[in-house]
Structures are given as C-alpha cells and as structure tokens.
Amino acid sequence: MKKLLLASGSSRRKELLDQIGVQYQSASMDIDESVQVSEAPSDYVLRMAIEKAQAGIEAKPDMVVLAADTSVVVAGNILGKPDNAQVAHEMLRHLSGKTHQVLTAIAVATHIQGKVSIASQVVVTDVSFSVLTDQQIEQYINTTEPMDKAGAYGIQGKAALFVERIQGSYSNVVGLPLAETGKILQRFDIPVWRD
C-alpha cells in the first residue's frame, strides 16, 4: 500500500485530514502561484492543485500525492492572501454584505504502470457575509487572523461571526472538501478512519 504525501504546509488541511483519519506525511511545494492573464478562477485553482501534485510526485515518486488550492472569489475576482492590514481591510470591505464563492481544487497524483496518473476536481461553496462596519473590520484585523488566509478571513476562526449562511461544503471553505477528497483518496487505495 502506498503512503500519502500532502503537498501542503497548511495546518488547516492537516487538521481536516486528521479529522477523517487519513495517515500522511506533508511537505510544501514551491511553485509560481501567479494568476495568468484572463485566467478564470476555476481554471486557476485547478492548475495550481495539479502543479503542486506534479511537484509532489516528482519529489516522492513512490507515494500518492494530494494537493489542493483554495481561492476566495467575489464578482469574478480572486482574493488572495493579504500582504498588509490595508489590503485585508479592502478585501473584507468587498465581502461585506455579499455572497462570494470559495473554490478549492484537489488533485491526487501517483505513478501507475510507469506513468503519472492525476485525478482532480473543483468544489465551489457560496458564502454569504453580513454587512460589516469599519470598526468590526478593524477589530478583526487586529486579531491578526486574516493575514495568512485567502480572502482575509478564516471561517473556522473568529470570522465565523461574519457568516450568515453557506451553501455547499463547509470543509471546502476551510481548505479541503472532505467528502470529495475522501472519495478520490479511496480510488487510490488510501484508507480513511484510521487511528
């Protein structure tokens, strides 16, 4: 049985895999994450996940590699991780009172009969925010939670107060859609629910 490599350093993705009892090793993949000109958000996250999976399988050819990429999208625009407090404020202002999409692409790669085989999927969740005041935004930014998160918020953290409703996978918004990930991993003989 092959072992699983999580091609990510994300603590949130590790916690989600732990939640469903998947055993894995993890390593971050260093790839260019620039958005290409006129690239649709769904194409971008899928390309990123596949490139991370390919980098992982090159580094660990004897393993099954799971990679993922998550983007927050509002009005067709990808909101990445904020560089500073001002950018975080602008992102949260864009999300205030609106429904946005969280897109996560997952890609699983392995060698089958000497060739790399990759299975991939994009999962979309709609997230509706309440109207945020400037004071709320500033108080949230002061917690420092937004600074390492796509769209400048973490649904599993303090920003849960901003979320009026979601439609779709909650774990997708955290960073890894578990139902879809579990199905793909089982196709590659990676077991779940192990102690």
User: Region 60-78: what's the mean pLDDT?
Assistant: 96
In order of 28, 84, 136, the CA distances from 5 in angstroms are 10, 32, 39
pLDDT bin (cut points 50, 70, 90) of residue 110 is: very high
User: CATH assignment of 4-187, given 3.40.50.2000, 3.90.950.10, 3.40.50.2030, 3.40.50.11540?
Assistant: 3.90.950.10
* Residue-averaged pLDDT of the chain: 96
- Establish whether 69 is a catalytic residue: yes
The counts of H helices and E strands in the chain are 6, 7
Residue 19 pLDDT more than 90? yes
Q: How high is the pLDDT of residue 186? A: 94
Residue 1 pLDDT more than 80? no
Q: How far apart are CA 149 and CA 162, in angstroms?
A: 15
Residue 136 pLDDT more than 80? yes
The catalytic residue among 69, 83, 134, 148 is 69
Q: What is the pTM of this model?
A: 0.93
Residue 102 pLDDT more than 80? yes
Q: How far is CA 37 from the centre of its chain?
A: 21
